Amino acid sequence: METDQRSSITCANCGSAEVHMGEMRSAFWQDDRLVVVEGIPVLVCGACAEQFYDDATVVGLDLLRGDGFPAERARAELRVPVFSFAAIARVKSEV
């Protein structure tokens, strides 16, 4: 994104013009698979910390999702623990 374009962007949440570029990672569900995408360009509001994507980033994420997040393009794999909320709630109610 060009600097000139970035300077005209205002935060949709609070209206501040203190918007700068950053990077984030996000998790997405693809059917029964959870995938993580790192290095996503994000616009960050310096006033309220709202994060949002520009149009090119949205298109890139849509294309990746449309391809089904192919495993052969993954940079790495993570093991993710899965918890049961009902089991946690039951333990808390017994205390």
Residue position matching structure tokens 């039951």: 90
Six-digit token string for 24: 């984030």
Instruction: Give the range of the structural domain holding residue 67, as residue numbers without chain letter.
Output: 3-94
- Per-residue pLDDT of 15-57, as tens digits, reads 999 999 999 999 999 999 999 999 999 999 999 999 999 999 9
Is residue 6 pLDDT above 50, yes or no?
Answer: no
pLDDT above 90 covers a percentage of the chain that reads 76
Q: Are 22 and 51 in contact (CB under 8 A)?
A: yes
User: What is the tally of structural domains in the chain?
Assistant: 1
Burial class (CB in 10 A: 0-12, 13-18, 19+), 11: buried
**Per-residue pLDDT at 7:** 55
**What is the C-alpha to C-alpha distance for residues 34 and 56, in angstroms, rounded to an integer?**
23
**What is the C-alpha to C-alpha distance for residues 71 and 44, in angstroms, rounded to an integer?**
30
pTM: 0.73
Q: What is the mean pLDDT of residues 76-88?
A: 89
